[in-house]
Amino acid sequence: MTDPRPADAPADVPADVPANVLADPLLDPLFTTAAAARAFSPAARVQGMLDFEAALARAEAAVGVIPATAVPAIAAACDAALYDPAGLGAEAALAGNTAIPLVKHLTASVKAADPDAARFVHWGATSQDAMDSGLVLQLRGFIDGLDADLGRLADALAALADRHRATPMVARTWLQHALPTTFGLKAAGWLDALGRDRRRLAVARGGLALQFGGAAGTLAALGEAGPAVAEALARELDLPLPALPWHASRDRITEPAAALGILAGTLGTIGRDVSLMMQMEVAEAFEPAGPGRGGSSTMPHKRNPVSCAVLLSAAVRAPALVGGLLAAQVQEHERGLGGWHAEWQALPDLARLVAGAAHHAASMIAGLTVDADRMRANLDLTRGLILAEAVTMALGGRMGRLAAHSRVAEASRRAVTERRPLRDVLAEDSEIVQALGIDELDRLFDPLNYTGSAAVFIDRVLAEHARN
Q: Which residues contact 172 (CB under 8 A, 6 or more apart)?
A: 178
Any catalytic annotation for residue 296?
yes
User: From first to last of its 468 residues, what are the pLDDT tens digits of the chain?
Assistant: 333 333 444 444 444 455 557 778 888 888 899 999 999 999 999 999 999 999 999 999 999 999 999 999 999 999 999 999 999 999 999 999 999 999 999 999 999 999 999 999 999 999 999 999 999 999 999 999 999 999 999 999 999 999 999 999 999 999 999 999 999 999 999 999 999 999 999 999 999 999 999 999 999 999 999 999 999 999 999 999 999 999 999 999 999 999 999 999 999 999 999 999 999 999 999 999 766 555 544 544 557 889 999 999 999 999 999 999 999 999 999 999 999 999 999 999 999 999 999 999 999 999 999 999 999 999 999 999 999 999 999 999 898 989 999 999 999 999 999 999 999 999 999 889 999 999 999 999 999 999 999 999 999 999 999 998
DSSP H or E segment with residue 178: strand 176-182
Q: Are residues 188 and 300 in the same domain?
A: yes
Q: Are residues 159 and 30 in the same domain?
A: no
Q: Which long-range contacts (CB under 8 A, 24 or more apart) does 309-313 make?
A: 309/271, 309/275, 310/30, 310/31, 310/271, 310/356, 310/357, 310/360, 311/267, 311/268, 311/270, 311/271, 311/272, 311/357, 311/360, 311/361, 312/268, 312/271, 312/272, 312/275, 313/31, 313/357
Residues comprising the chain, all counted? 468
Q: Are residues 270 and 399 in the same domain?
A: no
Q: Are residues 392 and 429 in the same domain?
A: yes
Q: Are residues 230 and 255 in the same domain?
A: no
Q: Are residues 193 and 269 in the same domain?
A: yes
Q: Which residues contact 295 (CB under 8 A, 6 or more apart)?
A: 302, 303, 304
CATH number at residue 442: 1.10.40.30
Write the pLDDT tens digit of every residue in 293-337.
555 445 445 578 899 999 999 999 999 999 999 999 999 999 999
The whole-number pLDDT of residue 13 equals 42
Cα-Cα end-to-end distance for the chain: 43
Q: Are residues 255 and 238 in the same domain?
A: no
Q: Are residues 253 and 325 in the same domain?
A: yes
Residue 423 lies in a domain: yes
Residue 8 lies in a domain: no
Q: Pick from 318, 353, 379: which residue ends a domain?
A: 379
The whole-number pLDDT of residue 213 equals 97
Pick from 145, 247, 128, 180: nearest CA to 391 = 180
CATH number at residue 92: 1.10.275.10
User: Exactly one of 296, 413, 453, 460 is catalytic; which is it?
Assistant: 296
User: Exactly one of 172, 335, 374, 376 is catalytic; which is it?
Assistant: 335
Q: Are residues 375 and 387 in the same domain?
A: no
Phi and psi dihedrals of 55, rounded to 5? -65, -35
Residue 232 lies in a domain: yes
For residue 25, give its domain range: 20-125+225-245
Q: Are residues 336 and 199 in the same domain?
A: yes
In the chain, how many domains are there?
3
Pick from 461, 366, 457, 464: nearest CA to 155 = 366
Residue 217 lies in a domain: no
As beta bridge partners, residue 286 has 369
CATH number at residue 181: 1.20.200.10
Any catalytic annotation for residue 205?
no
Residue 343 lies in a domain: yes
d(CA 355, CA 37) in angstroms, rounded, equals 9
Q: Are residues 372 and 448 in the same domain?
A: no
Write the pLDDT tens digit of every residue in 4-24.
333 444 444 444 455 557 778
Q: Are residues 372 and 253 in the same domain?
A: yes
